């Protein structure tokens, strides 16, 4: 039976993360990248944005932090997080039969009210 009750409000950090992903998407589209999919989820993990940069498939991790007091947004992408992103990306390209495309891992960070910082080829699969 369907409920007419409104959905519970999202936690502030989830709303902020979604807003950062929307800003990153708009920023990257302005740079000429094209959205393929957002928020891909699988057993291995989640991919924030999957985009095309010409003939390259680009997996984009978006990070937002209020300040750099705890190392900033880039410091939060640990080796373990990178491994989960890589595993999810590998699963994505196999599922979508895109293994023929070169794959790049980018990061877009937001710190406080600063403009986005785009790190192309932020990490690799080896």
Check which CATH number belongs to the domain holding 38 and give it.
Answer: 3.40.1350.10
Helix ranges (DSSP H) in 39-104: 72-75, 79-95
User: What's the pLDDT at 20?
Assistant: 87
Q: What is the pLDDT along the chain (126 residues), one digit of tens a residue?
A: 555 666 656 666 567 678 889 999 999 999 999 999 999 999 999 999 999 999 999 999 998 876 555 555 677 788 899 999 999 999 999 999 999 999 999 999 988 888 899 999 998 886
Looking at the domain assignment, is residue 5 inside a domain? no
User: What's the pLDDT at 2?
Assistant: 55
* CA–CA distance, 27 with 24 (Å, rounded to integer): 5
* CA–CA distance, 75 with 21 (Å, rounded to integer): 18
User: What's the pLDDT at 124?
Assistant: 85
Looking at the domain assignment, is residue 60 inside a domain? yes
User: What's the pLDDT at 113?
Assistant: 82
Looking at the domain assignment, is residue 92 inside a domain? yes
Looking at the domain assignment, is residue 85 inside a domain? yes
First to last CA, the chain: 49
Looking at the domain assignment, is residue 4 inside a domain? no
Domain carrying residue 80: 12-123
Looking at the domain assignment, is residue 3 inside a domain? no
| pTM score | 0.84
Q: Is 111 left (phi over 0), alpha (psi -120 to 50) or beta?
A: beta
Contact yes or no for 120/33 (Cβ under 8 A):
no
Looking at the domain assignment, is residue 38 inside a domain? yes
Q: How many domains does the chain have?
A: 1
Looking at the domain assignment, is residue 1 inside a domain? no
User: What's the pLDDT at 61?
Assistant: 95
């Amino acid at each position: 039976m369907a409920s007419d009750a409104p959905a519970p409000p999202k936690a502030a950090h989830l709303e902020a993360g979604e807003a950062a992903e929307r800003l990153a998407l708009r920023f990257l589209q302005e740079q000429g990248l094209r959205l393929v999919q957002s928020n891909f989820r699988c057993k291995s993990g989640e991919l924030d944005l999957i985009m095309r940069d010409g003939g390259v498939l680009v997996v984009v991790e978006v990070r937002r932090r209020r300040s750099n007091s705890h190392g900033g947004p880039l410091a939060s992408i640990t080796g373990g997080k990178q491994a989960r992103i890589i595993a999810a990306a590998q699963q994505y390209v196999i599922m979508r039969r895109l293994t023929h495309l070169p794959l790049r891992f980018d990061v877009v960070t937001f710190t406080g009210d600063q403009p986005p910082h785009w790190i192309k080829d932020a990490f690799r699969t080896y």
